[in-house]
Amino acid sequence: QVQLVESGGGLVQPGGSLRLSCAASGSIFSINVMGWYRQAPGKERELVASMSNTGDTNYLSSVKGRFTVSRDNARNTVYLQMYSLNPEDTAVYYCHILNGGWSGDHYWGQGTQVTVSS
């Protein structure tokens, strides 16, 4: 079993920044992908950013250049540094891990609210 604990969400003004953190615990395989999804009201859940254990990244096009995903492999922790936030970034952000390779298990955090508003 894997548990994901998120922190860092909150209310921020447009143009502001936030840093999300997610610590994974349990039986973590060295080969994995950790990252962040988000879901806004009335919208489908979408991948925001992810990073594999080897450092390969994937970003949602609308956040590329504003958001940066990073990770501390020794501590099984993934981060999402968000700059230049706009109201369209408002959503519940979910930490996610694909624990293993192609046949790995998926685990989700409980979600943390990010609200961008004046």
The predicted-structure confidence for 42-70, as pLDDT tens digits, reads as follows: 999 999 999 999 999 999 999 999 999 99
- How much is the pLDDT for 102? 85
pLDDT in tens, 66-112: 999 999 989 999 999 999 999 999 999 999 999 998 899 999 999 99
CA distance 8 to 82: 11
Q: For residues 31-39, give the mean pLDDT.
A: 97
Residues 28 and 2: beta-carbon distance below 8 Å: yes
- How much is the pLDDT for 63? 98
- How much is the pLDDT for 31? 95
- How much is the pLDDT for 100? 94
CA distance 95 to 25: 13
- How much is the pLDDT for 19? 98
CA distance 116 to 89: 7
